[in-house]
Amino acid sequence: MTETNPQQTSVKKILPLILATAIFMQMLDSTILNTSLPSIARDLHESPLNMQNAIISYVLTLAVFMPASGFLADRFGTKKVFIFALMLFSLGSLFCSMSQNLTHLVISRVIQGVGGSLMTPVGKLALIKTFDKSELLKAMNFAIIPALIGPVLGPLVGGYMVDYLSWHWIFLINIPIGVLGIILGIKYMPDYKSTDVDFDLKGFLIFAAASLLLSISLELFGDMQNISPVLFVFILGFLFLYYYYKHAKRGGNPIFPLDLFQVRTFRVGIVGNLATRLGISSVPLLLPLMIQIAYKQSAVTSGWIIAPMALTAIFGKSSVIKILDKYGYRQTLMVNTFIIGTLICLLAIPNIHTSLYWFIPIIAILGFFNSIQFTSMNTISIADLRNFQTSSGNSLISVNQQLAIGFGIAFGLIVLKLFENSNMIEGEIHNAFRYTFLTVGILTIISGFVFRRLHISDGKNMKSKED
């Protein structure tokens, strides 16, 4: 009978908190900039439209460098890479606050992006390797809470900081959180390495090119005036994906082995994540936009309207284990996706004369079911991966989520612009938003059928041990 190691017990208590600090910084930073762009643009003497590069550069860097996270963790150890990533992200945040022009800001955001592309996947990898599968759901459940709170707090915190302090503070806020993460990481982060490390540089470059091209095409899809170059970039991105498939099929040690997709739960989790986030990811952007543009309210007001989503997300996190234990992953994910799609459709009901308070209960309920969705999709994706697949599988899940969020935001904006330019909306921008919510909601409902590919017994090994 083995004795419980006190150090191991401490690690298991603190490790989810360390990962939570990293996720919180990354998710807060991904959203806090949106409400602050006009203020930053004025200070840097730029057009607010040009300032989109500050967001695009960060997203692209995440998508491009995330595939290398698994190799770097295996080669240099999870502890060194995680601490280095936190230092890089904090340093990038400092440089962002000191930016004198848009070029400086974009370069600083790229430095942030390199740090962000490593710290969350490597932190998750350490978590997966530390906890037994029976304990992993609880640990992941705690660590992912900031991923739900960050996007809600981001616009709210950004609005207040710009109004009452200055835009520089939206970046400086990351530094004390980063320092806390570094201190905890030095003391408690386990240092997992792999003796069998062979980096697939060619595969990484091919996959990075595919991610880059697809991400760029998503950002450009909003320009409906000249669609040919956008389609060319989009198709080129898929050609690079096919090139990667041929490369990985030849054998060797590809960065993302094709045998990952022979694991059915992983395959369903990846496809489901991509499909359902088309609708889920667009709501936190579209609703504040509608409140500000159609209802003529402030950014802070729009932030407060969606704030209940964070509170109910926490309740969802406390309920998800019981729900999964009772109904299983297949039934939970199918029904949950249908509920989310229906709630998004309900956002289309209020007209321009309806009180803003009408949205609060819908958003609050949506937050609860979103949290169940994210935890369920993340855990079922890794449920049946073997130990030698966890590094590459975990990296691919992270890249897929990043691209899925980008797809969702771009898709929502494209649908909005299509309705705005059509003859269906009778000249009111508010109606364009309503039709967009209806479209996105229906597509989300349809995406729930992806989870029919799961078996009733899938995920049984992820059930938590009874306390």
What pLDDT does residue 342 have?
Answer: 92
Q: Are 333 and 377 in contact (CB under 8 A)?
A: yes
Buried b (16+ CB within 10 A) or exposed e, 192-226: beeeeeeebeebbebbbbbbbbbbbbbbbbeeeee
For 422, other C-beta atoms within 10 Å of its C-beta total 11
Cα→Cα distances 409→56, 59, 227, 295, 402, Å: 12, 12, 18, 21, 11
Long-range CB pairs of 227-231, under 8 A, 24+ apart, other chains included: none
Q: Which long-range contacts (CB under 8 A, 24 or more apart) does 307-311 make?
A: 307/152, 307/153, 307/156, 308/360, 308/363, 308/364, 308/367, 309/148, 309/152, 309/284, 309/363, 309/364, 309/366, 309/367, 309/370, 310/148, 310/149, 310/152, 310/153, 310/367, 311/364, 311/367
CA distances from residue 220 to 209, 407, 414, 439 in whole angstroms, order as listed: 16, 12, 10, 21
Question: Which architecture, in CATH terms, is 1-198?
Answer: Up-down Bundle (1.20)
Give pLDDT, residue 6.
Answer: 55
DSSP for residue 101: S
Confidence (pTM): 0.76
Domain boundaries, the chain: 1-198, 200-254, 260-467
Compute the distance between CA of residue 239 and CA of residue 248 in angstroms, rounded to an integer. Answer: 14
Name the token pair of 319.
């309920």
> Is-contact 270 396, C-beta < 8 A?
yes
Residue type at 328? G
181 neighbors 18 (Cβ within 8 angstroms): yes
pLDDT of res. 66: 79
Q: Supply 216's token pair.
A: 């760029």
Class of residue 391 by CB neighbours under 10 A (exposed 0-12, middle 13-18, buried 19+)? buried
Nearest to residue 308, comparing CAs of 359, 261, 260, 255? 359
pLDDT at 338: 93
Taking a C-beta distance cutoff of 8 angstroms, is the pair 149, 313 a contact?
yes
Which pLDDT score, from 0 to 100, does residue 427 have? 58
Give the integer Cα–Cα distance in Å for 334 and 328. 10
* pLDDT by position in tens, the chain (length 467): 344 455 566 666 777 777 777 777 777 777 777 666 667 777 887 765 456 667 767 877 887 787 777 778 777 887 888 889 989 999 999 998 888 888 888 889 889 988 888 887 787 777 777 777 666 666 776 766 766 666 667 777 777 777 777 788 888 888 888 888 888 888 877 777 776 666 777 888 888 888 778 777 766 665 556 677 778 888 898 898 888 888 888 867 777 878 777 788 888 888 888 888 888 888 877 887 788 777 877 777 777 787 787 778 777 777 887 888 888 888 888 899 999 999 999 988 877 777 778 888 898 898 888 888 888 887 888 776 776 677 677 778 877 877 777 777 777 877 887 787 776 655 577 788 888 899 999 999 998 888 888 777 766 655 543 32
Of the candidates 260, 202, 180, 228, the one whose C-alpha atom is nearest the C-alpha of residue 14 is 180
pLDDT at 95: 92
Contact 281, 408 (CB under 8 A): yes
Taking every pair of C-alpha atoms in the chain, what is the biggest distance, in angstroms?
A: 74
pLDDT at 212: 79
Q: What tens digit of pLDDT does each residue of 147-181 get? A: 666 666 777 777 777 777 778 888 888 888 888 88
Tokens of 170: 């939206």
81: Cβ contacts below 8 Å, ≥ 6 apart: 69, 72, 73, 118, 122
CA distance 353 to 315: 32
Question: Please, what is the average pLDDT of the chain?
Answer: 78
pLDDT digit string, tens, across residues 336-362:
999 999 999 998 887 777 777 888 889
CATH 1.20.1250.20 fits 260-467, yes or no: yes
Same CATH topology for 1-198 and 260-467: the answer is yes
Place of tokens 């729930």: 448
